[in-house]
Amino acid sequence: MSNLDQEKKLLRVELRARRKIAHAEISDEAERVSAHIYEFIESGHSGVVAGYWAVGSEISIEPVLNRLCSEGIICALPVVVDRDAGLVFRRWQPGQELGSGPLGIRQPLEDAELVTPRLVLTPLLAFDTTGHRLGQGGGFYDRTLEKLRAQGDVTAVGIAYAAQQVDHVPHGPTDVKLNAVITEQEILRIG
């Protein structure tokens, strides 16, 4: 295991615990995060919005997706095709039946329409002010964002508690930076 991989592994352990504590202590903070997401979208983002189905102590953005759908915005959720590929996005609507993907994450069924998002809301374990994010370690979002950006303009926004901010996220050449991070405290736009 390389030094970078070891550094990321240790940081993941620490940040999973930190996010779990923040999630337990700040249960109503998700509403503030939601308000910041709406503000961010209303500031000029259009097109398909890709969210995620929260797992464990990740911030649930289901209420945000419900509202966006009710306003006529096309929403999507990520689908894991296989462990070595990036993600694809399938259209999602409130009440739609979801299946369980290879990693046990809820995702739209195969008959849901494939869509290409222009805004990707992504969960994370840690972030820094330069736009680096630490995910779960599979590289799914990194591979996917790289592919989407090669096809056109896409904005990647991390969704997190402020307690998940660190001074420096260890990163390598395959780690893709975020355009912004939204927490209960702020919208951090990254230059």
Structural domain of residue 81, as residue ranges? 3-189
Number of domains in the chain: 1
Cα(75)–Cα(26) distance, integer angstroms: 26
Share of the chain above pLDDT 70, in %: 96
Of the pLDDT bands very low, low, confident and very high (cuts 50, 70, 90), residue 61 is very high
Question: Could you read off the pLDDT of 80-129 as tens digits, one per residue?
Answer: 987 778 899 999 999 999 999 887 889 999 999 999 999 999 999 999 99
Burial of residue 155, with CB atoms counted within 10 A of its CB: 0-12 exposed, 13-18 middle, 19 or more buried? buried
Cα(98)–Cα(76) distance, integer angstroms: 12
Cα(12)–Cα(125) distance, integer angstroms: 7
Cα(173)–Cα(43) distance, integer angstroms: 31
CATH number at residue 100: 3.40.50.10420
Cα(42)–Cα(51) distance, integer angstroms: 16
For 133, the 3-state DSSP assignment is: strand
For residue 74, the model assigns a pLDDT of 96
On the question of pLDDT at 161 being above 80, the answer is yes
Question: Could you read off the pLDDT of 12-29 as tens digits, one per residue?
Answer: 877 777 777 766 665 677
Work out the number of other CB atoms within 10 angstroms of the CB of residue 16.
Answer: 16
For 99, the 3-state DSSP assignment is: strand
Q: Which helix (H) or strand (E) holds 41?
A: helix 29-42
- Alpha-carbon torsion (39, 43, 48, 51), positive or negative: negative
Of the pLDDT bands very low, low, confident and very high (cuts 50, 70, 90), residue 137 is confident
